[in-house]
């Protein structure tokens, strides 16, 4: 048996067993057990502290999400005492997944017209255009609200850009104002696409497309252009363009100059827009509220999308942009 003073004696199984019969063996085992228990308790406490921390963070996250989901923008009910000019903003691309979608803008306009203190409404536009459908929805809602509230004027004020679909909407207003350097007009329709026929031939790629319906693969970028299909799409664009022109003429009336270039898709400055009858005068929102409407106090009725709606819209938009082979028909 190894010497009791040998430091290596605890590393061998038989010696450990033998040493348990010696006087100090029980103390050693007890110390080892105590050390293990203390380590286990410390680990449990550490795990409990981390668990509390993570639960607290998760609870805070849920509370933040619930607040963002329920937040719809400022509550204007407390700010509408007395007479005021109601403001609704149309900013960005007009599309059904943006802050410039028809439902949001129309909702803000309805709230503005229905408020008892509203003496005039300003639709402040800063948009290059977008969906012809969404633009028409807003145009029609403006005309409807003006008919229901004939004593409350609605003025469109173009900031940086009021082009294409943005101008489509503005044409429904009683009057249109802009800055000298604002961009207005662009009364036209477009549809973007691309062709990769020669590219896939050079790369040795074979295009396989299965459809039910002889024109279902219309304007496929990997196939040669079909002249019949192209003519059909061109007819669609011209029809939407005609609808756009009719809306502008109905809204602007005899204020428009007799110049065919107005409807060519060209854009103009605000100053040129006044000369062509696309714009009535040069003024800002504050000037219109103070000098035209006569109510300098402005109350913003612009609604905002909920956080989860924006998140879902971003996802859908990104997915559609990824899968699309050509753009939808647009007024911009």
pLDDT over 90 at 115, yes or no: yes
3-state secondary structure of 204: coil
Q: What is the pLDDT of residue 268?
A: 97
How many CA atoms lie less than 13 Å away from 192 in the CB half-sphere?
Answer: 8
* Residue 86 within any structural domain of the chain: yes
* Residue 128 within any structural domain of the chain: yes
Q: Give yes or no: residues 318 and 193 share one domain.
A: yes
* Residue 313 within any structural domain of the chain: yes
Q: How many domains does the chain have?
A: 2
Q: Give yes or no: residues 280 and 184 share one domain.
A: yes
Q: How big is the chain, counted in residues? A: 332
* Residue 1 within any structural domain of the chain: no
Contact 152, 113 (CB under 8 A): yes
3-state secondary structure of 211: coil
Q: Give yes or no: residues 51 and 144 share one domain.
A: no
* Residue 227 within any structural domain of the chain: yes
pLDDT over 80 at 70, yes or no: no
End of a domain among 37, 70, 103?
70
pLDDT over 50 at 86, yes or no: yes
Mean pLDDT across the stretch 262-278?
Answer: 97
Q: What is the pLDDT of residue 312?
A: 47
pLDDT tens, position by position, 276-303: 999 999 999 999 999 999 999 999 999 9
Q: Give yes or no: residues 312 and 245 share one domain.
A: yes
Q: Give yes or no: residues 182 and 61 share one domain.
A: no
How many CA atoms lie less than 13 Å away from 195 in the CB half-sphere?
Answer: 8
- CATH number, residue 278: 3.90.226.10
Give the helix ranges, DSSP H, for 159-226.
165-170, 197-203
pLDDT over 80 at 152, yes or no: yes
Share of the chain above pLDDT 70, in %: 77
Q: Taking the CA atoms of the chain, what radius of gyration do you get in angstroms?
A: 35
* Residue 247 within any structural domain of the chain: yes
Q: Which residue has the tokens 């350097």?
A: 181
* Residue 10 within any structural domain of the chain: no
The band of 308, judged by pLDDT with boundaries at 50, 70 and 90, is: very low
pLDDT tens, position by position, 206-242: 888 888 988 888 888 888 888 898 899 999 999 999 9
How many CA atoms lie less than 13 Å away from 156 in the CB half-sphere?
Answer: 34
Q: Give yes or no: residues 147 and 244 share one domain.
A: yes
Q: What is the pLDDT of residue 10?
A: 42
Q: Give yes or no: residues 129 and 243 share one domain.
A: yes
181 vs 223 pLDDT, higher one: 181
* Residue 44 within any structural domain of the chain: yes
Q: What is the pTM of this model?
A: 0.71
Q: Give yes or no: residues 145 and 256 share one domain.
A: yes
How many CA atoms lie less than 13 Å away from 92 in the CB half-sphere?
Answer: 11
Q: Give yes or no: residues 179 and 41 share one domain.
A: no
3-state secondary structure of 56: helix
Q: Give yes or no: residues 175 and 312 share one domain.
A: yes
pLDDT over 80 at 96, yes or no: yes
Q: Give yes or no: residues 44 and 183 share one domain.
A: no
Determine the structural domain holding residue 227 and report its residue range.
76-323
* Mean residue pLDDT across the chain: 82
Mean pLDDT across the stretch 266-270?
Answer: 97
Q: Give yes or no: residues 167 and 204 share one domain.
A: yes
Q: Which residues, at least 6 apart from 318, have a Cβ–Cβ distance to it below 8 Å?
A: none
């Amino acid at each position: 048996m190894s010497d009791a003073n040998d430091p290596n004696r605890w590393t061998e199984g038989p010696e450990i067993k033998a040493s348990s019969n010696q006087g100090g063996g029980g103390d050693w085992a007890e110390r080892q057990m105590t050390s293990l228990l203390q380590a286990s308790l410390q680990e449990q406490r550490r795990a409990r502290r981390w668990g509390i921390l993570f639960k607290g963070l998760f609870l805070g996250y849920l509370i933040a999400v619930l607040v963002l989901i329920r937040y719809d923008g400022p509550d204007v009910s407390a700010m509408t005492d007395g007479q005021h000019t109601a403001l609704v903003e149309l900013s960005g691309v007009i599309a059904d997944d943006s802050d410039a979608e028809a439902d949001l803008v129309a909702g803000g306009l309805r709230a503005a017209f229905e408020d008892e203190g509203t003496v005039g409404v300003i639709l402040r536009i800063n948009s290059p255009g977008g969906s012809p459908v969404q633009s028409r929805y807003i145009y029609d809602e403006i005309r409807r609200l003006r008919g229901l509230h004939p004593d409350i004027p609605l003025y469109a004020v173009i900031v940086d850009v009021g082009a294409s679909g943005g101008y489509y909407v503005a044409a429904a207003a009683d009057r249109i104002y802009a800055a000298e350097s604002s961009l207005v007009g662009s009364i036209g329709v477009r549809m973007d696409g691309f062709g990769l026929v020669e590219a896939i031939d050079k790369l040795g790629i074979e295009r396989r497309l299965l459809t039910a319906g002889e024109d279902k693969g219309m304007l496929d970028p990997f196939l040669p252009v079909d002249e019949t299909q192209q003519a059909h799409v061109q007819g669609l664009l011209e029809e939407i363009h005609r609808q756009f022109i009719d809306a502008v003429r109905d809204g602007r009336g005899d204020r428009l100059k007799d110049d065919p270039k107005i409807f060519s898709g060209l854009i103009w400055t605000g100053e040129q827009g006044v000369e062509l009858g696309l714009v009535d005068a040069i003024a800002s929102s504050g000037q219109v509220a103070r000098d035209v409407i006569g109510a300098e106090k402005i109350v913003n009725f612009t609604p905002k999308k909920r956080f989860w709606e924006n998140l879902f819209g971003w996802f859908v938009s990104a997915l559609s942009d990824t899968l699309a082979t050509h753009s939808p028909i647009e007024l911009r």
